[in-house]
Structure 1
Amino acid sequence: MEKQLHLNLLASRPPIAGGFQSSSKMKMGPGRKRDFTPLPWSQYFETIEDIEVENENGKDIFRLYCSGSHGPVLLLLHGGGHSALSWAVFTAVICSRINCRVVAMDLRAHGDTKVKNPEDLSADTMAKDIGKVMEVLYGDNTPPIMIIGHSMGGAIAVHTAAANHIPSLLGLCVIDVVEGTAMDALNSMQNFLRSRPKSFKSLENAIEWSVKSGQIRNIESARVSMGGQVKKCEASSSSPGVSNSIGDDIIEEEDEEVEEESNKKRMKEDDKEVLFLFFT
């Protein structure tokens, strides 16, 4: 009975209020400059938690972004090469529609999660990560949990459910899930990962690339999530990585005047500059 009530609650989908429009569907007029400045996670989630999990090699620390205080838990697992922040826009929308709690997790070797063995991306290991994190987070009072996984996250969700790592599992939703193990999913992504730029001159530059390359179609999502996909580092302008950075090679949709202004802003850099590199 309780499980059915939770399912009914999750199925509630009131219409979107008037005036809301997905950023990915907004058409930009000629010459209109789009905003690629980063957005803070706090605009979409209520809290950040770092969960420590003991293992044979020491402690692993998993980054969680959370919202809500009542109702069933939606555990969100991102795809390969992305992060928990990829669920930011979804979280804001779903929490405005239904009474639920959201936990978006940076999987191992992604985002701000730090593990002793980031090379171990096997399905079994990543599924165990999920179970251990939920156990530490909720203890013996684990609430009803529904896992929603995208791509690689969907594969991990299936393995987590099959291994019964979450006894209070309420349901499972997989989006664009790949067949096979999580490792198979990562192997199938290698061509895409190799095609990405080695570095960016700014986070804004990374956001712009993600949108114009088609990696992320929703501008708002790109502005909040790209910070979870790249890491900040300092490098000399004479280092090899700089020549491979993306600054001026993006296909512009704006008019020449706006494009020139954008390029001039990106070209203002010292001999010692900050670069943004992909985590994976």
Structure 2
Amino acid sequence: MSDLQRRWAKAKLKAAMPGLNELDEEAGGGGDESDSGTTTRSLSYSITSENSSDAPPFPDDDSSSASSSSVSSTGTVIPSPARALFARPLGIPSARTLDPIPWTTYFERELLLPSPADPTLTYHTYLTSPVGKGPLFVTHHGAGSSGLSFAVLSSEIRKRLPTAGILSPDARGHGSTVAPEDPLDLSLPVLSEDLYQTIMFTKEAMKWPELPPVILVGHSLGGAVVTDLASSGKLGASLLGYAVLDVVEGSAMDALTSMQTYLSTRPVRFGSLREGIDWHVRSRTLRSAVAARTSVPALLVQQGQGQGEESWRWRTDLARTQPFWEGWFVGLSKKFLEAKGGKMLLLAGTDRLDTELTIGQMQGKYALQVFPEAGHFIHEDLPEKTAIALVDFYRRNDRSALVLPPKVSELLAQGKKV
């Protein structure tokens, strides 16, 4: 008989036979002491797990349900048939859950691409090459991020489309790309040209005879960059389409007014990489622990090494980029709708749509998907769903799958009636 059944039976017997209490006292009450001790330990642990500031708000795994859970629910325990009802919870995850995940987990190589026109400029990019006639997803991250922002997504894309390649560069002033910092030039035309040059230099470095079919994917600032490159026509027939993640002109311009306030609330530095990863997850900036462990290390740079006090600061000073903010997003909606190629917009909420895009969506000018359970970093919060959307988008725009009817001249040459 289990402890729970024993206590329930004893309570029933006490109610039916009041004299049983006296027998228990004569026997020394040993059974009650043991039961009381068990209950106290259980309650003590329950209080600790709900109120302790040391308990992180994320589990070891990176399931979709874990990504969408809120901090307020961290103390809730829902038993399931597969879980022992009175088993001690796992408690605080071990430190390994905050260890950085190397880029080699997701990409086959990194490339350093010097610019022949500017010896002070070297592009850095991560690459997994396409297989056969597979497409190349070319990504561009948002302000303050890096090419590793798309690392987990790249793995999910390859699971669903094994022939796909992913090219994920660091913009100048970000990640490991080396560019002049004085003067700092992060204007939209410069970033758009950088992305184009990275694509073409990669083609040369990999000795591809021609560009694979290209799908451009940009998040936030990156959405403005890929839209600008798509509208330029530089990629010609190689461009199948472009996808923009969680940025539209109207809401982006509105958000710029509060950007400095947001930056002032961020920590200036961290004591370690793990502390930086932990902050991103606890603050809900990123809702996936795996994504944070992958992308956050590239956002920080170490200072004070060997001086007794380790310190990690932000690699990109976003405050210095303020002169370029407005130029990134002005005219974005019109450019997005008018550029050639398939178009897709992925948002974390329909409230981000401005009037021009709302009208365009009603006219069927682009595909729209909304993931309300995600934060601003849709591709890191929900990499599986984002990958499904992008692979479906590619398949809808894949020209190689089209079977064109024969030309009239060919039918006449074959002696067939038209």
With the shorter chain as reference, the TM-score category is 0.7 to 0.9
Q: Deviations over 1:155-213 (max 9, x none)?
A: 11111111223222121000112428x99987864333332211111000000001101
Match of 2:173 among 78, 94, 109: 109
SS in 2 for 1:273: coil
1:149 alignment partner in structure 2: 218
TM-score of the superposition, structure 2-length normalised? 0.50
Query: What do residues 209-241 of structure 1 show as CA deviations (whole Å, max 9, x unaligned)?
Result: 011011111110000100111111216xxxxxx
Residue 192 (structure 1) aligned with residue 192 (structure 2): no
Match for 1:218 among 279, 285, 288? 288
Report the counterpart of residue 134 of structure 1 in structure 2: 199
Partner of 1:120: 185
Higher strand share: 1
CA contact (8 A) 1:58 1:116 kept: no
- DSSP 3-state at the match of 2:124: strand
Unpaired runs of at least 5, structure 1: 1-18, 236-269
Structure-2 separation of matches of 1:186 and 1:114 = 27
Quick one: distance in 2 between partners of 1:127 and 1:187?
24
In structure 1, the residue matched to 2:119 is 58
Task: Find out whether 1:21 has 2:84 as its counterpart.
Answer: no
SS in 2 for 1:149: strand
Q: Which runs of 5+ in 2 are unaligned?
A: 1-60, 78-88, 317-418
Task: Select 1:228's aligned residue among 294, 298, 319.
Answer: 298
**Is 2:306 the counterpart of 1:273?**
no
Q: Which has the higher contact order (CA 8 A, sep 6+)?
A: 1
Mark the CA change 1:189 to 1:109 in structure 2 (over 3 Å): closer, same or farther.
farther
Contact in 2 for aligned 1:68/1:95 (Cα 8 Å): no
CA RMSD of aligned residues (A): 2.7
What code does the residue aligned with 1:275 have?
A: S
Q: Secondary structure at the match of 2:192?
A: helix
**For the Cα contact (< 8 Å) 1:77–1:150, is it kept in 2?**
yes
TM-score (normalised: structure 1): 0.72
| Gap change, CA 1:271 and 1:62, over 3 Å in 2 | closer
Q: Which string of whole-angstrom CA distances, capped at 9 and with x for unpartnered residues, describes residues 76-101 of structure 1?
A: 11111111111111011111110210
Contact (CA 8 Å) 2:144, 2:174: kept in 1 or not? yes
**Contact 1:121–1:183 under 8 Å retained in 2:** no
Matched with 1:74 is: 137
Number of equivalenced pairs = 226
Percent of pairs with identical residues? 33
